[in-house]
Amino acid sequence: MIAEFENLSEDEKEELFSRYSEDKKETRKSYQLPPLPNAERGEVVMRFAPNPNGPPTLGSARGIIVNSEYARMYDGKFILRFDDTDPRTKRPLLEAYDWYLEDCEWLNARPDEIVYASKRIGMYYDYAVRLIEMSHAYVCRCPRDEFKRYRDAGMACPHRNRSAEENLEDWEKMLGGEYAEGEAVLRIKTDMSHRDPAVRDWVAFRIIFSDHPLVGDEYVVYPTLDFESAIEDHVLGVTHILRGKDLADSEKRQRYIYQYFGWDYPVVRHWGRVKIHEFGKLSTSEIRKKIEEGVYAGWDDPRLPTIKALRRRGFEAEAIRKFFLSLGVGENDVSVSLKNLYAENRKIVDEKAERYFFVWSPVRIEIEGMEAVEDIELPLHPSRNIGTRKLRGERVVYITRDDYESFKGREVRLKGFCNVKIQENGKAVYLGDEIEEARKGRNIIHWLPESQAVRCEVLTPDGKVEGFAESNVRGAVNSVVQFERYAFCRVEEVERGVRAVYTHP
């Protein structure tokens, strides 16, 4: 059987291997999302609705991936909707709109439709008017604190029972800029004795005298998320809503609107909070501040949990997808290590990453007793036949300080080159080239010839690591390579020295 296999041509072997690994992938790939209740093939409409006040982060990725995955599962539609209706407290960033588009695309979740809430404020006004006319909404002129007292007491405020005409009039005044910020809001009538105070007559529109990055100073009355989202989900025909449980109460509020208009509320499911060990709690606004302070170099700083940063680090979209699909859509909070993402990514990247040497904290070593310079060829990949790279076996080489310290006085194999005995004084004694001479085990180390060592810095999540890389990496710009015995890294710059970004071990 084995002999039979050996007799096959390389191509045939390749084919067998790939067929075998394909099968394995298929079974392993089963991060199946649970079925959606009430979902019909071709009818499902999902949406992801971020506020673009910064670039998408790992947190956003979950929303993008899970929603788009369900849309795909049911052959449905995936909508990207910008809930950008607060130009002050959660002010959108103009560039961020495009960042979301880019990252969705990159995550293999291209939206079938894109909606900008701020461009549809006029439409929300129409629905507001209808609610006022039906006496399901009213303009409330209570100061915030005063209303809070009514709410806590479960009592109607003085404005609650005014006529539709009066309310319409006040509404017009709001729109006309006759009221200052805080002087009037439009509230949806719910139930002042609702057991959950958060549901009692919630605010649908408020006055904000601030220009909006996308629509300028066209409006002074902006809808709140609950109103905007309620209307949009219906207008867009959203069938299923999947989002974080921080928005769980929204459903209770929004249902009133659906009831007043006689609409059906979409199926809602919430997932718990995700905490990633490696990234502390970083809010978008905190990151923004630290970028401005110069703590981070930008939104794609490798230390950040933004999609931009992960992409720069060389993560594959598919790995990120699998990572989130593996978390499922449970309502319990998860606290997960990035190691899981690393593992997913490694599976993809290992078979295509070219291998190179990177010597961090280099120590210069002179090899004594070596006869002549040798030309050495090393494979670009340990198991796949994708070519070789050339190194010169010279008398002067660099090895890392770690190896120097731990192998001092002992024999090691310079991978692909020769065996030496490391001396205490920064020198080494040549022992021969034969691999057989080298002890099997953990004594094969990587190295670099002085003449082919180029300065290299690696940006890691914990800071910068400096050393030398072999000049051959110049051919690997913009790709993920494995610096042997170090980590996978994405090479992003090769002029004037090499700069790479750490992906993962």
* Residue the block writes with tokens 């939206």: 111
Coil, helix or strand at residue 280: coil
Contact between 469 and 483 under an 8 Å Cβ cutoff? The reply is yes
Distance CA 138, CA 140 (A): 6
Task: Give 70 or 222: the residue with its C-beta nearer to RNA.
Answer: 222
Task: Give 297 or 432: the residue with its C-beta nearer to RNA.
Answer: 432
CB of 246 to RNA, least distance (A): 4
CB of 175 to RNA, least distance (A): 14
444: amino acid identity, one letter: I
CB of 120 to RNA, least distance (A): 14
The gap between the terminal CA atoms of the chain, to the nearest Å, is 37
Pairing of strands 498-504, 487-493: antiparallel
Q: For residue 257, give Cα distances in angstroms to 16, 75, 158, 236, 389.
A: 60, 29, 22, 15, 67
Distance CA 40, CA 62 (A): 23
**Burial group, residue 227, by CB count within 10 angstroms (0-12, 13-18, 19+):** buried
CB of 264 to RNA, least distance (A): 21
Task: Give 135 or 210: the residue with its C-beta nearer to RNA.
Answer: 210
Q: For residue 331, give Cα distances in angstroms to 129, 260, 271.
A: 37, 29, 4
Task: Give 216 or 297: the residue with its C-beta nearer to RNA.
Answer: 216
Task: Give 144 or 464: the residue with its C-beta nearer to RNA.
Answer: 144
Phi, psi of 401 (to 5 degrees): -60, -35
Task: Give 297 or 335: the residue with its C-beta nearer to RNA.
Answer: 335
Largest Cα–Cα distance of the chain, in whole Å? 102
CB of 444 to RNA, least distance (A): 4
Contact between 467 and 456 under an 8 Å Cβ cutoff? The reply is yes
| Bridge partners (DSSP) listed for residue 426 | none
CB of 294 to RNA, least distance (A): 26
CB of 495 to RNA, least distance (A): 27
CB of 366 to RNA, least distance (A): 20
Distance CA 196, CA 128 (A): 24
CB of 117 to RNA, least distance (A): 8
Task: Give 151 or 234: the residue with its C-beta nearer to RNA.
Answer: 151
Task: Give 154 or 497: the residue with its C-beta nearer to RNA.
Answer: 154
Task: Give 20 or 130: the residue with its C-beta nearer to RNA.
Answer: 20
**Burial group, residue 186, by CB count within 10 angstroms (0-12, 13-18, 19+):** buried
Contact partners, residue 413, CB within 8 Å, separation at least 6: 419, 435, 438, 443, 444, 445
